[in-house]
A and B are shown apart, each in its own frame.
Chain A
Amino acid sequence: MKRIILLICLLMLVFGGLFAEGQKEVTFPNKPVTIVCPWSAGGGTDRTARFIADLLSAELGQPVQVVNKTGGAGAVGHNAAATAAPDGYTLGNLTFEVNTLKYLGYSDITPADFKSVLQFNQDAAAVTVSADSPYNTVKELLEAVKKEPAGTFVFSGSGIGTVWDLARIAMLDKYGIDPNRVKYVPSQGAAPAITELLGNHVDVITCSYPEVAPQVEAGKLKTLAVMADERNPQFADIPTLKEQGIDWSYGTWRGFAVPDDTPDDVLKVLQDAMKKVVESKEYIDFMNSNGFGIEIRIGAEFDSYMMEQFAGLADIFELAGYGN
């Protein structure tokens, strides 16, 4: 008898749940929105995502939470974002690495699996050496790389096939140097690479300028160039590669996107809210005080930017000999 009562209780519980689900949605959004962040809590991407989530929540009138799905050099998070229900309640916080997953054989996800909301940040790669290095411009450095025997120079910056590694490979190639003339010491992110450079265990690192800025300002390191189209007004005394005659700019970026099958009206709601967020003073102040660059590309513009970059990577991966 007791068991029967129990069973009825349980069944009621389960069906009650099913009925709750049965009610149709009225307007988007009417429940909490989730941002999937492919990088771990406390990192740069996570911090911007959490900051934006707060502002977005005010715009949408619904809670916005950040979920960290980390691992596999971004494969886990990007996979989760691409395969989420296409209802607009799950946003992917895409980063540059979404372009590389297929080439590296980590996942079949490409930018084509997403519909863009917008891009909100871009940070150019910078070439940094120790302060007592004899080279004062990228040209001097690269000439030396050309002249000295292969394997003399040791580069670092981040892991294999990451944005800083790819930026380095293409830079060397643009200057007519075989990327294999230098040794590349893979590291788990920019911080350990900076440590290696400070300890004089490597010669050159490529990573974003804000990451090395404290060391540069303290006179321990010097940044020779940034791989951007124009000088950044925040650190205007650092020349670009283009000024030094090397036609190459590259960097990482962050943006939001939803799965490809998401309805357009839902996407529009998200896009409008997000536009307001990235135009707000709070957002601009936050990015500035953290040293993150602001670059806004909305919808189709962001889509085509990603696809172009994705296509261009085929050559760089070929040069590097990574992946298949």
Chain B
Amino acid sequence: MFKRLNVEIVIGLLCIAPGILVLILTRSFPAGAASNMQLSGPAFFPNVLSIILIIMGLLQLGQGILRKTENAEGSVRNALKVLSRPASVTLIITILLIAFYIAAVERLGFFVTSYLFLFLLLWRLKVVWWKSLLTALIFLAVIYLIFAKVFMISLPAGILM
């Protein structure tokens, strides 16, 4: 089963699922409020789109099923293999760091969060630790100057502001 599962099939399924989800969600949308036509209702456009999406998903699915999966190229297993390389670990750490940034910035404030984020990222990207500390500081100063001072954007204040 897993062997037969190739990328095209996964794309197909990934199109059909949100398509169906949209169709379910739009059932609770009101009919066109201001006028009496179905066409002008808020559900019309999303419904059309999700139907196209489902059709395209089915086409992909068909292509995937018909295709011979013996050649490893395009198989899901092959794609998963890539993820276990050390470089991919760096990638995953980077993604987690961005997620951490989003979660923390309004609590810790711009300076602390950005500093931690940059330092940890640079460090992971194999910059010597004291250089990371310094580079992060310079970056922060530049960003602060441009965004907060020149463009007067109020960056999230936290425990340090």
Whether A and B touch directly in their complex, counting CB atoms under 8 A apart, is answered as yes
> Residues on A close to B: CB < 8 A?
2-3, 6, 9-10, 13-14, 16-18, 20-21, 34, 65, 67, 160, 183-184, 186, 321-322
> Residues on B close to A: CB < 8 A?
33-35, 108-109, 112, 115-116, 119, 129, 133, 152, 154, 158-160
By beta carbon, the residue of chain A nearest B112 is A17
Residue contact B116 to A10, C-beta cutoff 8 Å: yes
Query: Which chain B residues lie closer than 8 Å to A9 at the CB level?
Result: 133
Of the residues A13, A65, A322, contact of B33 by C-beta under 8 Å: A322
Query: Which chain B residues lie closer than 8 Å to A3 at the CB level?
Result: 129
Bound complex: CA A230 to CA B42 (Å)? 40
Would A20 and B154 be within 8 Å (CB), given that A13-B112, A160-B34, A184-B34 are in contact?
A: no
Residue contact A17 to B33, C-beta cutoff 8 Å: no
Query: Which chain A residues lie closer than 8 Å to B158 at the CB level?
Result: 17
Query: Which chain A residues lie closer than 8 Å to B152 at the CB level?
Result: 65
Query: Which chain B residues lie closer than 8 Å to A17 at the CB level?
Result: 108-109, 112, 158-160
Q: How far is the CB of B137 from chain A (nearest CB, A)?
A: 11
Query: Which chain B residues lie closer than 8 Å to A321 at the CB level?
Result: 33-34
Query: Which chain B residues lie closer than 8 Å to A16 at the CB level?
Result: 160
By beta carbon, the residue of chain B nearest A185 is B34
Main SS of the interface on chain B?
A: loop
By beta carbon, the residue of chain A nearest B36 is A180
Residue contact B133 to A13, C-beta cutoff 8 Å: no
Residue contact A13 to B115, C-beta cutoff 8 Å: yes
Q: How far is the CB of A222 from chain B (nearest CB, A)?
A: 27
Q: Could you name 27 residue pairs across A and B whose Cβ atoms are closer than 8 Å?
A: A2-B129, A6-B129, A10-B116, A10-B119, A13-B112, A13-B115, A14-B108, A14-B112, A16-B160, A17-B108, A17-B109, A17-B158, A17-B159, A18-B159, A20-B159, A20-B160, A21-B159, A34-B154, A65-B152, A65-B154, A67-B154, A160-B33, A160-B34, A183-B35, A186-B34, A321-B33, A321-B34
Bound complex: CA A160 to CA B112 (Å)? 43
Bound complex: CA A131 to CA B45 (Å)? 37
